[in-house]
Amino acid sequence: MSKSGFRTFPAHIQAIVRVVQSVFTTGVRPDRALMLEFQRLGRPGARDRAVVAETSYNLIRHWRLWWHLMEAPPATGETQLKKLVLNYLDLLHQLNENAMSLEFWLVEQKKLCPPAVYYSVPDVVWQLGLDQLEQDWEVEVAAQNSPSLPHLRVNSLKALPEVVVKKLSEESVITRPHEKFPDVLVVQRQGRNIFSTRAFREGWIELQDAGSQEVGRFAAPQPGDRVVDACAGAGGKTLHMAALMGNKGRILSLDVDPRKLHELRRRSSRAGVQIVETRSVENRKILKRLLGTADLVLVDAPCTGSGTWRRNPDLKYRLSEAWLQRCTQTQHTLLRQYAALVKPGGRLVYATCSILPDENQNQWQRFLEDHPTFEHLESRHILPSRHACDGFFMAAARRKE
């Protein structure tokens, strides 16, 4: 039986092994690995999806701890992974028999392990975090070792929150307002795949973490603004800003990956967004044409993702000093390039989904020192330990007249 009381079958075990194996051997993200596995299984039911996803994420999240308790080095071979899965499921059964939760049992293990092992963080990453955040590091790592419920953004161009809540409940998806951000809906129970609901198909909702939604609100685009979303990706923040603007103005969404921009165009159509134009940034010619034209430029920069470990636990095993240095150099370059697009009196907003100061306040201070034509307006930290969502940093500056 799983923690939720679902019966576990051999097919579940094989699916879990394949998901975990793909994450640690090919670098596939957990959500992507699960999607591919569910496609392979022929769209399994909600109960089957739940036990495979829940178990896979718990094994990835506590990867180092599980192997430590088994007194074996981490391994990704099929035989070793099957043994890991079976041991884990046997533990859940024992806990269930003794009316003990997995969360309580995990707390008890803290007395038996070094912190880096207990929190399943590589030693070098643990030290890097201590160097960056000191005593706050353990608090944030602990907060991110808990499962994350999905967050939804209601598309104000098409629907009202109360209508969405009612319609989702009719399709066995139960939601509640987020405790820190009442405009965000938290999925408490998912009786069916959210992407198959009418609310999603008709563009009433988007799957978007509360922290990510706060970036759009912090940027505060106004109706009629000319906005540049410099690192738009698949467009979660682009679509949110379009809704905040009431579909009035223009958003130019840029990215180096044409596939992500194709997805953004598809999502825009579903959401009823009509003010977005996409451009692939293949060279700097497009930036030259945009010099000094934007009311708002959002640089949601590539980063280590150290604030997203609740949803992306695999990232903590990939973090390194070298990766951090590459990210900070990229962020510095992007800020310098895209600041030039802001017109006099316009605003530049910088954001990352990191909790590391070198990517956040230190990076922003470096920009301000190098660009005296920009005056700092405000900055904000969203922390997993305080806000029950992904960690984000955001800062805004105005270009002087």
Amino acid at 145: N
Instruction: Please say whether the dihedral angle defined by the alpha carbons of residues 57, 60, 65 and 71, taken in this order, is positive or negative.
Output: positive
Query: Measuring CA to CA, which residue among 22, 24, 46, 45 is closest to residue 34?
Result: 22
353 is known as an active-site residue: yes
Helices vs strands, H then E, count in the chain: 18, 11
Query: In the structure encoding, which two tokens stand for residue 6, read together?
Result: 């679902």
Q: How far apart are CA 270 and CA 235, in angstroms?
A: 13
β 342-352/374-382 pair status? unpaired
Pick the catalytic residue from 231, 303, 327, 353.
Answer: 353
Helices 102-109 + 78-97 axis angle, to 10: 110
Residues near 77 by beta carbon (within 8 Å), at least 6 away in sequence: none
Between the two ends of the chain, the Cα-to-Cα distance in Å is: 65
In DSSP notation, 42-56 reads TS--HHHHHHHHHHH
Residues near 21 by beta carbon (within 8 Å), at least 6 away in sequence: 76, 78, 81
Q: How far apart are CA 82 and CA 91, in angstroms?
A: 14
H or E element at residue 347: strand 342-352
Q: How far apart are CA 244 and CA 248, in angstroms?
A: 9
Q: Look at the chain and count its residues.
A: 401
CB atoms within 10 A of CB 294: 24
Q: How far apart are CA 320 and CA 328, in angstroms?
A: 12
- Cα-Cα-Cα-Cα torsion 29, 35, 38, 40, nearest 10 degrees, comes to -80
CA 215 and chain centroid, separation: 13
Provide the annotated active-site residues. Answer: 353
